[in-house]
Amino acid sequence: MPELPDVEAFRAILASCAQGRRIQRTEVYDAGVLHGVSAGRLRRELTGRRFAEPERRGKWLLARTDGPTVLLHFGMTGELVRANASAPVHAHDRVVFTVDGGQQLRYRDQRKLQGLWLVDEAGLDRMLREQGPDAAALTRTAFAAVLAGRRGTLKSLLMDQSALAGLGNLLVDEILWRARLHPARRADALSDDEQNRLHTALRRTLRSAVRAGRVPPRSSWLTGRRDAPAAACPRCGAALSRKRLAGRGTVWCPSCQPAHTAGNARTDGSDA
């Protein structure tokens, strides 16, 4: 599932391929991914416009133009692909933008759980106003404010886009594993040391994942071990535990992330 690092990689693709370039053609192969706009209106509004500098907010990509903004969400299987205009259309290409120079941006999505919106600034504000602060830009003080007064579990809070934007299932499990915190711990019951460990783990994990353009399945990461047969913790070797928490399949190490802790374990700061 695309999370903050994936969307940041899509933003970079859009910037390198299309920023400053004029949209020559917009082709809609499946209008089922369009929200609040018809295929015809999308073509009319965008043809001749130039892509401006793109932005990412949480899991949303803002493909700005010198007119309206194309707002993209990638759901579980979406991606933004750069291609030459001569390349064959993929079976899951839903919307294709052709820009000056013959390059194309292709919104590709197998399951079509989200898609594209065409919005002005007021519409953009309406779409994103309920979103919490971006996880990649969160200071320690702002993070403490997110946690304050939250009675839910760490897993549910970190997955809640209205509390903190950009994190998905893989990232949350990875961050909690690095911070040595159990996913079912109450968010408002952390000590100052645990809050600091969690914020440090969040920043370091995001920094590494953004560099990789995804949540990397490295053997030194929980992400790289979670789907293995007889999955074991890459830090201590204990068998990993699995349970459905906050509506999502959750993986943790029962040894490194005990349900009750004294709060004095160190953060694993490895970026390997």
pLDDT at 261: 53
Tokens (6 digits) for 238: 């204990």
Choosing from 11, 56, 59, 197, the catalytic residue is 59
Domains and CATH numbers, the chain: 4-128 (3.20.190.10), 135-252 (1.10.8.50)
Q: Which residues contact 143 (CB under 8 A, 6 or more apart)?
A: 195, 198, 199, 202
pLDDT at 265: 43
pLDDT at 149: 80
Q: Mind giving me the DSSP string for 2-30?
A: --HHHHHHHHHHHHHHHTT-BEEEEEES-
3 assigned to active site: yes
Tokens (6 digits) for 227: 């789907």
Choosing from 22, 27, 248, 254, the catalytic residue is 248
pLDDT at 246: 86
If you average pLDDT over residues 34-61, what whole number do you get? 98
Q: Mind giving me the DSSP string for 143-190?
A: HHHHHTT--SBHHHHHH-TTTSBS--HHHHHHHHHHHT--TTSBGGG-
Mean pLDDT of the chain: 94
Residue whose C-alpha is closest to residue 94's, from 44, 41, 26: 26
155 assigned to active site: no
Q: Which long-range contacts (CB under 8 A, 24 or more apart) does 243-251 make?
A: 245/153, 245/155, 245/156, 245/183, 245/184, 246/153, 246/155, 246/156, 246/159, 246/183, 248/155, 248/159, 248/169, 249/169, 250/155, 250/169, 250/173, 250/183, 251/173, 251/222, 251/226
Quick check: 271 pLDDT over 80?
Answer: no
Place of tokens 């994936």: 6
| Residue 83 β-bridge partners | 104
Quick check: 75 pLDDT over 90?
Answer: yes
| 113-164 confidence digits (pLDDT tens) | 999 999 999 999 999 999 999 999 999 999 999 999 888 999 999 999 999 9
If you average pLDDT over residues 67-72, what whole number do you get? 98
pLDDT at 112: 97
Quick check: 42 pLDDT over 90?
Answer: yes
If you average pLDDT over residues 25-53, what whole number do you get? 98
59 assigned to active site: yes
248 assigned to active site: yes
Quick check: 1 pLDDT over 90?
Answer: no
If you average pLDDT over residues 91-97, what whole number do you get? 98
| 218-262 confidence digits (pLDDT tens) | 999 999 999 999 999 999 999 999 999 988 999 999 999 999 754
Residue whose C-alpha is closest to residue 79's, from 112, 105, 108: 108
> Using CA atoms, how far apart are residues 119 and 59, in angstroms rounded to an integer?
17
Tokens (6 digits) for 89: 């259309």
pLDDT at 234: 97
Q: Which residues contact 244 (CB under 8 A, 6 or more apart)?
A: 250
